[in-house]
């Protein structure tokens, strides 16, 4: 065996023996490293799981789809007064987009009204949190809705303002409880509608069933019931490979129609699946960064504890150091002996932190299915490397102090 490799192996075994001799002291020393590593892995696993959920949901709406509203669609924590006061997009805006934007393949409008959810009833069952909306028939294809049973309403239903509805999966489950809903009549906000179709369950973020609680009726039917409703979502699908061109065309058209001055910002928002994913990652990146900074305090405390215990170890083993130097050990041998001991100490803390973090991720996934967690490989590698690096950095001073001891003085130490 290579002499250098044999020396490293002997120092590593010596370090492990020291850990075994002082188990409780070693555990208290590495507790900060353990907590810091486990926190980073736990947060990274939740972020990874949420990221995959957001990607799946956003791409489920279509990677070529543009979402257009009077304020920016996407993740919003608050809406400014200026955004609230903007004039709504109109049905005529949707028509103009379809007629004047060559890079747009299909376009649709969805209308709703602000206020509490309306109740939906069928026989003795009632659902109080339905999302009742009107839409043009093209919406279903534009946002990737999958028909489960029956049929979707068409342009004839829309033009004749027929009282028909298509139900989301959660509405079917809660109102009909196993009964076939197609052909049945339900009451929505006190008005009777015939159920002509149902939608398959959609992918969710954090268990949000909003997309499955929808009751969709033709656009003109909704306007007949609520003539005061004005707010429209417009959804447009770009020609393959032309999503950037489509976005520019829609933006230019709406700025002209809404009389936006050249120097003024848009008074509407356009989002795509990609932009919503990017927005989510920016927000979560900030959250992860803050968490890493906080967890680094635990690593710092652990590092200081390691340095303190290593200084105590140098004092306790002064005679041992003197004996090693007397029989020919070099300063570098002593330095690496204590450095490896410190790195083994924090490395053990890192391994325990990784195990604890992975266990925590598994528990979250088991007990809270709505909160996904998947441990990314990079977090395991990073957790171990950082833990070992803490030992290397904070073990440097005690190791240098040990290597500089005078062997004669060390041998006479009591």
Largest CA distance in the chain: 105
Residue 228 burial (CB count, 10 A): 6
Nearest to 38 by CA among 393, 388, 384: 384
With a pLDDT cut of 90, the percent of the chain lying above it is: 27
Evaluate if residue 293 carries a pLDDT over 70.
yes
Type and span of the H or E element at 161: none
- Tell me the backbone φ, ψ of residue 76, rounded to 5 degrees: -130, 130
What tens digit of pLDDT does each residue of 321-378 get?
677 767 766 777 777 777 888 888 888 888 988 999 899 888 888 887 777 788 888 8
Type and span of the H or E element at 72: none
pLDDT band at 208 (very low <50, low <70, confident <90, very high): low
How are beta strands 191-199 and 164-167 bridged, if at all?
Answer: parallel
Tokens of 338: 């204590």
Type and span of the H or E element at 61: none
What tens digit of pLDDT does each residue of 85-110 get?
888 999 999 999 999 999 999 999 99
Higher pLDDT among residues 161 and 285, named by residue:
161
The Cα 144–Cα 133 span in angstroms is 17
The Cα 213–Cα 127 span in angstroms is 9
Provide the CB-side half-sphere exposure for 26 (13 A, CA): 21
Q: Please state the rounded mean pLDDT for residues 252-264.
A: 89
pLDDT at 3: 56
The Cα 26–Cα 100 span in angstroms is 72
Type and span of the H or E element at 69: strand 65-69
Least confident of 15-29, 245-259, 358-372, 381-395: 15-29
pLDDT at 402: 74
Evaluate if residue 413 carries a pLDDT over 70.
no
Average pLDDT, rounded, for the chain: 83
Tokens of 215: 């009751």
- Overall size of the chain counted in residues: 414
Tokens of 248: 């520019």
**b/e per residue, 293-325, with b = 16+ CB within 10 A?**
eebbebbeebbebbbebbbebbeebbebbbebb
pLDDT band at 74 (very low <50, low <70, confident <90, very high): low
Higher pLDDT among residues 411 and 144, named by residue:
144
Least confident of 368-372, 389-393, 404-408: 404-408
The Cα 337–Cα 330 span in angstroms is 11
pLDDT band at 400 (very low <50, low <70, confident <90, very high): confident
With a pLDDT cut of 70, the percent of the chain lying above it is: 87
Q: Is the dihedral of CA 327, 331, 333, 336 positive or negative?
A: positive
Q: Please state the rounded mean pLDDT for residues 377-396.
A: 86
Q: For tokens 């020291």, name the residue.
A: 18
pLDDT band at 150 (very low <50, low <70, confident <90, very high): very high
Taking CB atoms within 8 Å and a gap of at least 24, the contacts of 203-207 are 203/53, 203/56, 203/57, 203/60, 204/53, 204/57, 204/370, 205/50, 205/53, 205/54, 205/57, 206/50, 206/53, 206/370, 206/371, 207/369, 207/370
């Amino acid at each position: 065996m290579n002499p250098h490799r044999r020396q490293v192996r002997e120092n590593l075994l010596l370090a492990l023996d020291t850990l075994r001799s002082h188990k409780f002291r070693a555990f208290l020393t590495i507790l900060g490293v353990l907590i810091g590593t486990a926190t980073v892995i736990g947060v990274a696993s939740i972020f990874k799981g949420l990221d995959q959920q957001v990607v799946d949901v956003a791409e489920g709406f279509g990677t070529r789809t543009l979402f257009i509203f009077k304020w920016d669609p996407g993740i919003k924590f608050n809406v400014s007064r200026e955004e609230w006061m903007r004039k709504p997009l109109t049905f005529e805006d949707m028509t103009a987009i379809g007629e004047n934007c060559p890079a747009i393949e299909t376009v649709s409008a969805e209308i709703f009204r602000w206020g509490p959810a309306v109740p939906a009833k069928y026989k003795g069952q009632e659902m109080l949190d339905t999302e009742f909306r009107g839409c043009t028939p093209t919406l279903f294809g534009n946002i990737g809705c999958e028909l489960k049973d029956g049929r979707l309403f068409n342009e004839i239903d829309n033009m004749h303002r027929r009282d028909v509805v298509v139900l989301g999966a959660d509405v079917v489950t809660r109102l009909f409880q196993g009964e076939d809903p197609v052909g049945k009549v339900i009451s929505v906000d006190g008005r009777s509608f015939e159920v002509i179709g149902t939608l398959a369950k959609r992918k969710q973020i954090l268990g949000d069933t909003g997309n499955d609680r929808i009751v969709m009726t033709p656009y003109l039917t909704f306007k007949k019931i609520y003539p005061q409703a004005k707010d429209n979502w417009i959804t447009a699908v770009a020609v393959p490979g032309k999503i950037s061109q489509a976005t520019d065309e829609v933006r230019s058209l709406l700025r002209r129609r809404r009389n936006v001055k050249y120097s003024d910002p848009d008074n509407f928002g356009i989002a795509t699946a990609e932009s919503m994913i990017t927005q989510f990652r920016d927000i979560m990146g900030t959250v992860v960064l803050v968490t890493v900074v906080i967890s680094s305090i635990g690593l710092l405390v652990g590092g200081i504890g390691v340095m303190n215990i290593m200084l105590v170890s140098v004092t306790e083993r002064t005679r041992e150091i003197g004996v090693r130097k007397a029989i020919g050990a070099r300063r570098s041998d002593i330095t690496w002996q204590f450095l490896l001991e410190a790195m083994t100490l924090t490395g053990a803390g890192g391994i325990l932190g990784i195990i604890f973090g992975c266990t925590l991720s598994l528990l979250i996934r088991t007990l809270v299915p709505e909160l996904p967690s998947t441990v990314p490989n990079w977090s395991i590698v990073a957790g171990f490397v950082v833990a070992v690096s803490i030992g290397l950095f904070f073990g440097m001073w005690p190791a240098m102090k040990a290597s500089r001891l005078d062997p004669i003085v060390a041998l006479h130490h009591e």
